[in-house]
Structure 1
Amino acid sequence: MTPPPLAARTVLRTASLAVAMALLAPAAALAHFPFLTVETDGDAPTLRLTFGEGPEEDEPRYLPILQKGTVVRHTPDGAREALELTATGGALTADVSADPPGTVYTLSLPYGVMNREGEAFFLDYVAAAMKEAAPEDAGRPAALNTQSLAVVPEPGNKLKVIAAGVPVAGAEVNAYGDLGGEDYVADANGVVTLTAEEIEDAGRLIVRANVALPGVGEFDGQKYSEIRRYATAVFTPEDFQAAPAKEPAPEPAAAGEDKISVEAVPGADLPVGVTSLGAAVADGYLYYYGGHPGTPHKYSTDEQSGAFRRLKLDDPAAGWEELPGGPKLQGLALVPHPGGGVVRIGGFTARNSLEEEHDLHSMPTVAHYDPATGAWKDLPELPGGRSSFDAVTMNGRIYVLGGWMMAGDEGAAWHGTGLVADLTADPDSEDWGWKTLPTPPQPRRANSVAAVPEAGEEGRIYFIGGMLPEGEPTRRVDIYDVATRTWTRGPDLNGDVMDGFGSAAYAVDGAVYATTLTGLVQRLTPGADAWEDLGELEFPRFFHRLLPAPGENGEPTLLLLGGGSMEQGRFTAVERLGVGE
């Protein structure tokens, strides 16, 4: 079987956000990098920025390079501000004695466009350092989850490479200390495990990682076709903790022979591959809106979509019909309207150009596309901006779960509440608009949602997987009972920890189906205490959509739309997923 068609020049090579990057081999030992450290040897803690083979160097000739960078202070209360550093010898320094413990400092240093062997690439450096954490603090500082690339220590003598808070699988990392250095390859969770001796003998452990991102752009009048980003960090043995005791992971459901069939839908290829799109099936059509067709982890007005299209399910060969679009959005939801058409909910938009720093804002807007009029009509807005969530309709109501609210320089706030709106209510009545659900057990984003209706107006809503505020993916599943307005814990998704990130789900005939990052297709039937593994996709997707399709012989049939793969990139093919018994 040949791979489905891919969007032109959008191959993703990492394990995340709709997003996968491949790590280049670590740079040679004599290469120069920027290093950000907090030094405590003097009278006061001093933030120090240098450029060289290691953080101890301070050659004045490199000051013009360092002065191109921006250093931002992130205090534990969520505040952030740019710092002014002063040249001291060959280093840039700042007195940080007044900053509270746990303050994080980050560097963004766009070096410029380089030309090597006929290839032009944009060279970008990032670095991070932290002032000693308060004893009561635990876990990774939230500021590091917003960085385009970072290396962080984990309990159990581990290092983790993350991009926008998401682990980078297969990362190649170079770490060296007083007795020399080693190259490592991270596991599927972005983790490198060091020995206790390596940590103790390192003195100061200097770590580098680099990624290559496809993407055409221009910087200072020079064009490039690739971004190469390098991250550095410096640790001491005190930065590493013993691994916490863990309960043994539950055994996954017994695997049987594959019960799935997958085929591309002829004539249904997307015009361009997108991740984090909104999609729904309504009125015999497959609709989709927006998404991210651009460079992974890079968001701008140039690299988001506001396109709106539909495909007639009984005649897919007729191709996609262009419909009235709207604001450029990704991380949104699209659900059927009980009166016909679809409802567009939330998402985030970038207010920056490709060359500018990210200025990302989650939107509260909700609108109904009515095919009878061919136009959008505004509905009551969400109580606050929301993106990276999921939504579903059941019995005339929309349920919204998960997500966060990004507000540019003010940072992001995670949503701990779920919402419901009755689309059948009288617009002039008090029942119109958004109501708050009983609080879900655990905030998260990059989750999926499915609904299982029952007789009358009852049913259950499944809140599946996602990313926790601490920056870790989760396979957790929680179930909301509409009749009793209560939450119960459901069986975790099968697979490894990353299978909870960017999944897609839909319920058919009372069973919930989910497809995950590693390609697992699994089903949770009523009353079951574990998910059933049905098989694996040859071409896995994440940040995609799973939707119902006309079936044959009464068997459940679903559509896979959009999304990306760590190996294959963004998919343009729409695939039909059949499930047998």
Structure 2
Amino acid sequence: MFRTASLAVALALLAPAAALAHFPFLTVQDDGDAPTLRLTFGEGPEEDDPEYLPILQKATVVRHTPDGARETLELTADGGALTADVAADPAGTVYTLSLPYGAMSHEGAAFFLDYAATAMKAGPAGAGRPAALNTQPLAVVAEPGNKLKVIAAGLPVPGAEVNASGDLGGEDYTADAHGVVTLTQEEIDDAGLLIVRANVTVPGAGVYDGTNYSETRRYATAVFSAKDFQAAPAKPPAPEQAAAAKLSVEAVPGADLPVGVTSLGAAVADGYLYYYGGHPGTPHKYSTDEQSGEFRRLKLDDTAAGWEDLPGGPKLQGLALVPHPKGGVVRIGGFTARNSIEEDDDLHSMPTVAHYDPEAGEWKDLPDLPGGRSSFDAAVLNGKVYVLGGWMMAGDEGAAWHGSGYVADLNAEELKWETLPTPPAPRRANSVAAVPEAGGGGRIYHIGGMLPEGETTRRVDIYDVATKTWLPGPELNGDSMDGFGSAAYAVNGAVYATTLTGLVQRLTPGADAWENLGELENPRFFHRLLPTPGENGAPSFLLLGGGSMEKGRFTTVERLGVSE
């Protein structure tokens, strides 16, 4: 999904008027009396050459307070810097910069040059990563264990090239597969002002100010000191487990998607595989031009016939699609971008719900969710649909994390949303699976995701529909990122999940840990895992959509078989 570009390339991309290796820097200058946000352009944050003020004045600086509010700041010139008084801002406030330099060409390559920077007013120790940083197209954050992490929209950027300079001298690093650069304790102990910059190249065509480009070259800066790093928390040993099943993976003939999409909705119903919407555009860039409202289905016993186009609808991603017990599928929530590709993101989570009736061949509106919701999941149990996780984005007003879950009876004459007992640990980018039990009961599994603090989690919570209570479940196996953007489905009483690193896991009834069944050759996340008939009743699934950091989006639909 990303290709890293060396820092040497960055030098050739700057405007002719800019000095060698100049970047924008945001810092909070705090002398104890009047904290000031300061924006400069140079080799480091201390420079303030008035020559570069015209560049800085193209920037947008946004203040994100810990309560989720956001506001564009007006900065004033002070010498060669732009400044703002931030004395009244609460601790933990995050400041982000977006500086689209423009579309240009170099050595035959047409690209869009984009700068980002972040700063924070010191918050409480151990508070974790502020949620505002997870909305940035590129950022560098400090993490426990002397780690610098390069993230894009909250996700790690494997192999990113990072430069750290200051009291440490100047060093170039290459991030590992998790986007992490680990500094030595000696480096941290000696650190005064640590100036960090990172860069990525994001494939994807676009138009800016009338000029076409084929990729985006993005650079991010941040400034840290020794107090920004903490000791790594103690990590419990992972359970030792041997693979208990044999996996088979093969491409489904005739099922290739017309275009790769992530964050799509998909369901199996009426002998068909349905999918709706998703994000086929530039990774971590959202616009009306880069979202899909297309709707298709594939007949499972005749996949060679290919996909059938059905009536589409609003452009949505981060939605859920579930089977309706009376036929067809139900589309729930998701978010839509109200901005063009040239404009800043203006993203809104939608409350809309609709039923596709295959006999009528059309969508029929159902009662809305109580509020807009995206980046969540849903599952159907005993004719009722359960909605868990997600957040509500509202453009410039920011995003509010949902602490609630809802259930509605799809068989009722009039669908009505009812509030579930409050789920533990609000989170988004989660997955949901439903396991029926004898007598009409069952359990809903709320799996993984990202917490409001910005940390990913592998936690699993289980809702018992008979007692209407939440129970703790075993964590997913793997590292912290395995809980982010996973996909899950339950077959024969067991829950199966596939995760970002490619792990295939199973949780059987009464087990106190997930079984590792093996690893996928092509790991996916923000994909869908759906049931399909297997040989002799063995569990069999379809892997649909999604992508990986290394390979981008997948168009191939794969059949995953599990045999003991």
Q: TM class by shorter-chain length?
A: over 0.9
Could you tell me which residue of structure 2 aligns to residue 496 of structure 1?
Answer: 479
Matched, 1:251 2:239: yes
Matched, 1:413 2:394: no
Could you tell me which residue of structure 2 aligns to residue 164 of structure 1?
Answer: 153
| 8 Å contact from structure 1 (residues 189, 497) kept in 2 | no
Equivalent in 134, 145, 152 of residue 141 of structure 2: 152
| 8 Å contact from structure 1 (residues 166, 471) kept in 2 | no
Equivalent in 281, 285, 298 of residue 268 of structure 2: 281
Cα deviations by residue, 1:338-365 (Å, 9 ceiling, x for unpaired): 0011000011000110011111111111
Could you tell me which residue of structure 1 aligns to residue 227 of structure 2?
Answer: 238
Out of 301-310 and 476-485, give the one that drifted further: 476-485
**Alpha-carbon offset, residue 252 of structure 1:** 4.2
| 8 Å contact from structure 2 (residues 100, 115) kept in 1 | yes
Equivalent in 342, 346, 353 of residue 333 of structure 2: 346
Could you tell me which residue of structure 2 aligns to residue 462 of structure 1?
Answer: 445
Query: SS state of the match for residue 144, structure 1?
Result: helix
Structure 2: distance between partners of 1:267 and 1:247: 45
> Aligned AA for 2:241?
A
Could you tell me which residue of structure 2 aligns to residue 38 of structure 1?
Answer: 28
Change (3 A) 1:43 1:136: closer
Structure 1: distance between partners of 2:254 and 2:510: 39
Could you tell me which residue of structure 1 aligns to residue 551 of structure 2?
Answer: 568
Structure 2: distance between partners of 1:573 and 1:311: 13
Relative contact order: is structure 1 or structure 2 higher (C-alpha 8 Å, sep ≥ 6)?
A: 1
**Alpha-carbon offset, residue 457 of structure 1:** 1.7
Structure 2: distance between partners of 1:119 and 1:373: 50
Could you tell me which residue of structure 2 aligns to residue 372 of structure 1?
Answer: 359
Equivalent in 517, 521, 524 of residue 538 of structure 1: 521
Q: Give the TM-score, by structure 1 length.
A: 0.92
Cα deviations by residue, 1:372-392 (Å, 9 ceiling, x for unpaired): 111111111111111111111
Could you tell me which residue of structure 2 aligns to residue 435 of structure 1?
Answer: 418
> Aligned AA for 1:412?
A
Change (3 A) 1:483 1:232: same
Structure 1: distance between partners of 2:75 and 2:174: 35
Structure 2: distance between partners of 1:565 and 1:151: 20
Out of 369-378 and 31-40, give the one that drifted further: 31-40
Structure 2: distance between partners of 1:86 and 1:155: 35
Query: Superposed, which structure 2 residues align to 1:35-74 within 5 Å?
Result: 35-40=25-30, 44-74=34-64
Structure 1: distance between partners of 2:551 and 2:137: 22
| 8 Å contact from structure 1 (residues 367, 376) kept in 2 | yes
> Aligned AA for 2:40?
T
> Aligned AA for 2:190?
D
> Aligned AA for 1:254?
A
Structure 1: distance between partners of 2:94 and 2:300: 51
Structure 1: distance between partners of 2:113 and 2:410: 50
Cα deviations by residue, 1:176-206 (Å, 9 ceiling, x for unpaired): 1124121223333332221232123232100
Out of 111-120 and 302-311, give the one that drifted further: 111-120
Could you tell me which residue of structure 1 aligns to residue 68 of structure 2?
Answer: 78
Identity %: 82
Structure 2: distance between partners of 1:131 and 1:99: 8
**Alpha-carbon offset, residue 42 of structure 1:** 9.4
> Aligned AA for 2:74?
E
Could you tell me which residue of structure 2 aligns to residue 25 of structure 1?
Answer: 6
Structure 2: distance between partners of 1:137 and 1:172: 27
Could you tell me which residue of structure 1 aligns to residue 314 of structure 2?
Answer: 327
Structure 2: distance between partners of 1:350 and 1:425: 33
Change (3 A) 1:97 1:438: closer
Could you tell me which residue of structure 2 aligns to residue 224 of structure 1?
Answer: 213
| 8 Å contact from structure 1 (residues 166, 472) kept in 2 | no
Equivalent in 60, 85, 100 of residue 110 of structure 1: 100
Change (3 A) 1:551 1:120: same
Structure 2: distance between partners of 1:461 and 1:35: 46
Out of 322-331 and 515-524, give the one that drifted further: 515-524
**Alpha-carbon offset, residue 396 of structure 1:** 0.7
Query: Superposed, which structure 2 residues align to 1:503-522 within 5 Å?
Result: 503-522=486-505
- For structure 2, the residue ranges without an aligned partner over 5 or more in a row are 12-19
Structure 2: distance between partners of 1:159 and 1:558: 38
Out of 385-394 and 25-34, give the one that drifted further: 25-34
Structure 2: distance between partners of 1:200 and 1:511: 49
Change (3 A) 1:458 1:223: same
Structure 2: distance between partners of 1:120 and 1:368: 44
| 8 Å contact from structure 1 (residues 23, 209) kept in 2 | no
Structure 2: distance between partners of 1:77 and 1:273: 36
Could you tell me which residue of structure 1 aligns to residue 183 of structure 2?
Answer: 194
| 8 Å contact from structure 1 (residues 177, 201) kept in 2 | no
> Aligned AA for 1:315?
D
Structure 1: distance between partners of 2:174 and 2:560: 34
Out of 54-63 and 196-205, give the one that drifted further: 196-205
> Aligned AA for 1:139?
G
**Alpha-carbon offset, residue 567 of structure 1:** 2.2
Change (3 A) 1:298 1:376: same
> Aligned AA for 1:505?
A
- For structure 1, the residue ranges without an aligned partner over 5 or more in a row are 1-11, 13-20
Could you tell me which residue of structure 2 aligns to residue 17 of structure 1?
Answer: none
**Alpha-carbon offset, residue 319 of structure 1:** 1.0
Moved segments of 4+, more than 6 Å: none
Q: How many residues align?
A: 555
Change (3 A) 1:496 1:216: same
Could you tell me which residue of structure 2 aligns to residue 126 of structure 1?
Answer: 116
**Alpha-carbon offset, residue 466 of structure 1:** 0.9
Matched, 1:359 2:346: yes
| 8 Å contact from structure 2 (residues 319, 376) kept in 1 | yes
| 8 Å contact from structure 1 (residues 522, 532) kept in 2 | yes
| 8 Å contact from structure 2 (residues 487, 525) kept in 1 | yes
> Aligned AA for 1:469?
P
Structure 2: distance between partners of 1:559 and 1:193: 38
Could you tell me which residue of structure 1 aligns to residue 253 of structure 2?
Answer: 266
Cα deviations by residue, 1:89-127 (Å, 9 ceiling, x for unpaired): 222222333333332221111111221110011010011
**Alpha-carbon offset, residue 488 of structure 1:** 1.3
| 8 Å contact from structure 2 (residues 494, 508) kept in 1 | yes
**Alpha-carbon offset, residue 536 of structure 1:** 1.3
Query: SS state of the match for residue 123, structure 1?
Result: strand
| 8 Å contact from structure 2 (residues 127, 453) kept in 1 | no
| 8 Å contact from structure 2 (residues 238, 477) kept in 1 | no
Could you tell me which residue of structure 1 aligns to residue 14 of structure 2?
Answer: none
**Alpha-carbon offset, residue 140 of structure 1:** 2.1
**Alpha-carbon offset, residue 473 of structure 1:** 1.2
> Aligned AA for 1:553?
N
Could you tell me which residue of structure 2 aligns to residue 336 of structure 1?
Answer: 323
> Aligned AA for 2:213?
Y
Structure 2: distance between partners of 1:378 and 1:455: 33
**Alpha-carbon offset, residue 568 of structure 1:** 1.9
| 8 Å contact from structure 1 (residues 253, 530) kept in 2 | no
**Alpha-carbon offset, residue 22 of structure 1:** 3.1
Structure 2: distance between partners of 1:348 and 1:70: 23
Q: Give the TM-score, by structure 2 length.
A: 0.95
Could you tell me which residue of structure 1 aligns to residue 467 of structure 2?
Answer: 484
> Aligned AA for 1:263?
E
| 8 Å contact from structure 2 (residues 156, 179) kept in 1 | yes
Cα deviations by residue, 1:362-415 (Å, 9 ceiling, x for unpaired): 111111111111111111111111111111111111011111111111111111
Query: SS state of the match for residue 498, structure 1?
Result: helix
| 8 Å contact from structure 1 (residues 252, 495) kept in 2 | no
> Aligned AA for 2:424?
P
**Alpha-carbon offset, residue 51 of structure 1:** 1.0
| 8 Å contact from structure 1 (residues 419, 434) kept in 2 | yes
Matched, 1:394 2:365: no
